[in-house]
Structure 1
Amino acid sequence: MAAVDSFYLLYREIARSCNCYMEALALVGAWYTARKSITVVCDFYSLIRLHFIPRLVSRADLIKQYGRWAVVSGATDGIGRAYAEELASRGLNIVLISRNQEKLQTVARDIADAYRVETDVIVADFSSGREIYDRIREALKDRDIGILVNNVGVFYPYPQYFTQVSEDTLWDIVNVNIAAASLLVRIVLPGMVERKKGAVVTISSGSCCKPTPQLAAFSASKAYLDHFSRALQYEYASKGIFVQSLIPFYVATNVTTPGSFLHKCPWLVPSPKVYAHHAVSTLGISKRTTGYWSHSIQHTVDSSFAKQTHSAFRLLWKSVTGLVDGPECTTAAAPDLTEEGWVSMLFQSCAMSVHLGATAV
C-alpha cells in the first residue's frame, strides 16, 4: 500500500511539473487542427468555385474574351479532340494540328458539320524536329489566334526503368512534349501581346507534381510544361494574356486506356468529352488546375498523404493480385513489368499519386 501511495505522489509531482509542457502541446495541437480545418474549408470552397459555380452561370464569351480562332495540337484523339470540339461548341473557329492528315481532315469535317464553324488543318509531325515550325508559322500568319491549346504529347508504352527506354522515345519526349509547346507559344504569343488578349492552355499531367519512378523522362517533361506555363503567366498576365496549366489525372484516352476495374468508375476516370467540358469552364478562372472536380480531390489527397497512400496501395496490390484486371498493355514486353511498375500503375489508376498521362499525338 505504501508503494502505491509513493507511486501516486511521484506521479502527481511529475504531472505538476509537466503542466506547462502539456499546455504547450495542447496549444500546438489546437493550432494544427485549426490550420488543417481552414485548409479543408478553403479547398472545398475552391472546388465549388472552380468546378461547380461556373457551370451554374452563363458561359463566358470566349470569342470576345480571347479571339475568334483556337489552335489545338494533338487534336485527332483524346483530350485534344474533345477540347477542340468544346471550343467549337462555343463558336470558335479551330485550327487542328497533328501528324495524320486523314484523321485531321475527318475531325475537321466533323467539327465543321456539327458546330457550324470554320476549321483548318496543319499536318505536322512534331517528332521530326525544328524544320516543321516555319510551315506552322506561315499557316497561322494573319489569323486572330485567341486560344492556343498545347496538347500534343508522347508517352511510354508502359512504366520502365530509364535505361530500358529507347533513345528514339527519349528524343520524341524532348521534341514532342517539350519543344512543341515552347515553339508553338513562341509563334502565337507575339500576336496575342499585340492584341492585348489571348489564352494559352498547356495540358501537363498529374505526374508533374512529383518525381515518378519508371516514368522518369515523361514526368520530367510534364513538370517542364507545368513550370513553363506558370512562369509565362507571371510574365504576360499584365499584357492581357491568360496562361493555364492543366494537370489532369487519369482520363480514358487511347494513350492510357484504363483496365476493366476503372471503367466502372467514370466519376474517377472521365471520358475526354466530359473532361474537356469541365476543363474549358475553368479557363480564365484558374491558372493551375486539374480541370475536373474528382481530379482536384485526388490531387489534394495525394498532396497530403502521398507516402502513406503509396504504402497502402502496395499492400492493396499484394492482396488483390489475380483478382483485379491490371491496366491493359498492347506491348509484348508488358508481361515483364516489375511488381513496382504494376504497383505504380495501380496506384496511379486510382489517382492517389500521379497521372500516367492523357495526351495524344
Structure 2
Amino acid sequence: MDLIKQFFISLGTAVVVYYGVKLLLFSRMLFPKQWFPMSKTFFTSMGEWAVVTGASEGIGRAYAFALAEQGMSVVIMSRTKETLDQVAKEIGDKTGQRVKVAVADFTKEDVFGEIEGQLQDLNVGVLVNNVGMLPSYFPGRFLESAELDQTITKVINCNVKTMAKMCKIFLPGMANRGKGVIVNISSGIACIPFPMYTLYAASKVFVERFSQGLQAEYKDKGIIIQTVAPFGVSTRMAAYQQTNIVTSSPEDFVKSSLQYLRAGDKTHGSVCHTVMGWLLQSIPLQVIYAESVLSSLQDYIKKKTGYEASIPESSPTFKIQLNEQEE
C-alpha cells in the first residue's frame, strides 16, 4: 500500500509540475517586452536589408512595413509588379527607406536562379518566407480539388520548395557574418492533421519541422530561425473576415509576432492565437474528424465568405485558386 501511495503522490507531483511549467511559459506570452527584450537597433544590427516574399498585401506587406519602420531597407517579392510598385512607393514615402521590387511567381519551377542573381550583393539580415498557396477558400476533400495534379505541384513549389530555396540563398551569408533572422510563416491548422485542408496543412507542417531542424543546426551561429503559425488574420486568404479578438489585422498581428522573435523556434504570434493552438490540440481527433463536424466546417466557411451554398461542390466554379498567401 505504501508503494501505491508513493506512486500516486509522485504522479500528482509530476502533473502539478508539468502544468505549472506550462502556466509559466504561457505567462511569458503576456509580457513579451520583459521576457523577450530586443534593442531598438536589433533588426538593423542583423544586416542592412530584409527580404519578404508574398509582400504586396496582407501579412507580407505588414512585415515589409514593420521592418522598414525599424530602419531596414527592404526587398519585396510577389508575382504582380504593379501592386509591388505601389507598395514600394507607400513604404518609401512613409519610412524613407530604400525598397527594391523583385517579381517572382513561386508556383513555377525555375525562379530562384534569377532571384539569387538579383540579390546576391545585398547584405540580407532578415528573411521572411511568407508566400504560400491555399488551393481553395472552401474546405473540401483531397480528390475534390480542381486540377489536382497541377494543384499538388503548385502547393509544393510555393509552400515547401520556395522556403527551402530562399533559405539556401540567404542562410550562407548569415552564417558567415554570425547573425541573421529567418521567419517562416506556417499556419495554426498545422497543429493537427487537418481534414478538408489536408494538402495545405501538411505543407505547413513541413515549414515547421524544417525551421525547427534548421534552428537546431544554426543556433550556435547566432542565427534566429522561427516559425510563426497564425490562426485568424484578416487577409485575402481568410476572405477578409472582420477583425475581432480572434481575427487580427495583418498590421496588429505582425507587430505582436515580432515581439516574440526571441521566444523560441515556434510561436503563434499572439496570446489569443497561442490559446487557440492549445485548445485545438486538446480536442480529441475523433471529434474533429466526425462527419457532422466536417460538414459544419464547410457550412460555416461558406456562410462567412458569403458563398452560395446552392452551387454544387463538383462545379468548376466551386474551387477558387489562390496562388499566393499574400499576392
TM-score (norm 2): 0.85
Are positions 1:153 and 2:119 aligned together? no
Flag the structure with larger Rg: 1
Q: Against the structure 1 CA distance between its residues 258 and 29, is the aligned structure 2 distance closer, same or farther, given a 3 Å change threshold?
A: farther
**Residue by residue, what CA displacement relative to the aligned partner does 1:300-340 show, whole Å, maximum 9, x if unpaired?**
2222334487489967987x999998221669996539xxx
> Which letter does structure 1 place at the counterpart of 2:62?
A
Contact 2:183 2:227 in 1 (8 A): yes
Contact 1:98 1:104 in 2 (8 A): yes
The ranges of structure 1 where at least 4 consecutive aligned residues each deviate by more than 3 angstroms after the TM superposition are 19-33, 52-55, 57-60, 305-318, 320-325, 329-337
- After superposition, residues 274-293 of structure 1 pair within 5 angstroms as 274-293=252-271
- After superposition, residues 121-270 of structure 1 pair within 5 angstroms as 121-130=101-110, 132-157=111-136, 158-165=138-145, 166-257=148-239, 263=242, 266-270=244-248
Q: 1:82 aligns with which of 55, 62, 82?
A: 62
**Residue by residue, what CA displacement relative to the aligned partner does 1:58-109 show, whole Å, maximum 9, x if unpaired?**
7542344311110000001110001111111111111001000000000001
Q: 1:302 aligns with which of 277, 280, 284?
A: 280
**Residue by residue, what CA displacement relative to the aligned partner does 1:163-219 show, whole Å, maximum 9, x if unpaired?**
112222211101111111111111111111111111110001112222111211111
| Comparing 58-67 and 304-313, the one that deviates more | 304-313
- After superposition, residues 103-118 of structure 1 pair within 5 angstroms as 103-118=83-98
Aligned position for 2:250:
272
Contact 1:246 1:291 in 2 (8 A): yes
Contact 2:288 2:294 in 1 (8 A): no
Aligned position for 1:328:
305
Aligned position for 2:34:
53
Q: Specify the SS of the correspondent of 1:129.
A: coil
Contact 1:258 1:327 in 2 (8 A): no
Aligned position for 1:359:
325
> Which letter does structure 2 place at the counterpart of 1:300?
W
Q: Against the structure 1 CA distance between its residues 309 and 34, is the aligned structure 2 distance closer, same or farther, given a 3 Å change threshold?
A: farther
> Percent identity of the aligned residues?
29
> Which letter does structure 2 place at the counterpart of 1:287?
D
Larger helix percent = 1
Q: Against the structure 1 CA distance between its residues 59 and 129, is the aligned structure 2 distance closer, same or farther, given a 3 Å change threshold?
A: same
Contact 1:302 1:309 in 2 (8 A): no
Residue segments in structure 2 that go unaligned for 5+ positions in a row: 315-323
Q: Distance in 2 between matches of 1:311 and 1:288?
A: 26
- The alpha-carbon deviation at position 266 of structure 1 amounts to 1.4
- The alpha-carbon deviation at position 39 of structure 1 amounts to 4.1
Q: Against the structure 1 CA distance between its residues 106 and 331, is the aligned structure 2 distance closer, same or farther, given a 3 Å change threshold?
A: farther
| Comparing 20-29 and 155-164, the one that deviates more | 20-29
Q: Distance in 2 between matches of 1:129 and 1:45?
A: 44
TM-score (norm 1): 0.77
Q: Specify the SS of the correspondent of 1:219.
A: helix
| Comparing 19-28 and 238-247, the one that deviates more | 19-28
The count of residues paired between Structure 1 and Structure 2 equals 315
Residue segments in structure 1 that go unaligned for 5+ positions in a row: 1-18, 338-357
Q: Specify the SS of the correspondent of 1:336.
A: coil
- The alpha-carbon deviation at position 241 of structure 1 amounts to 1.1
Contact 2:135 2:200 in 1 (8 A): yes
Q: Against the structure 1 CA distance between its residues 65 and 304, is the aligned structure 2 distance closer, same or farther, given a 3 Å change threshold?
A: farther
Q: Specify the SS of the correspondent of 1:200.
A: strand
Aligned position for 1:345:
none
Q: CA RMSD in A?
A: 3.2
Contact 2:28 2:35 in 1 (8 A): no
Q: Specify the SS of the correspondent of 1:326.
A: helix
Contact 2:49 2:122 in 1 (8 A): yes
| Comparing 187-196 and 62-71, the one that deviates more | 62-71
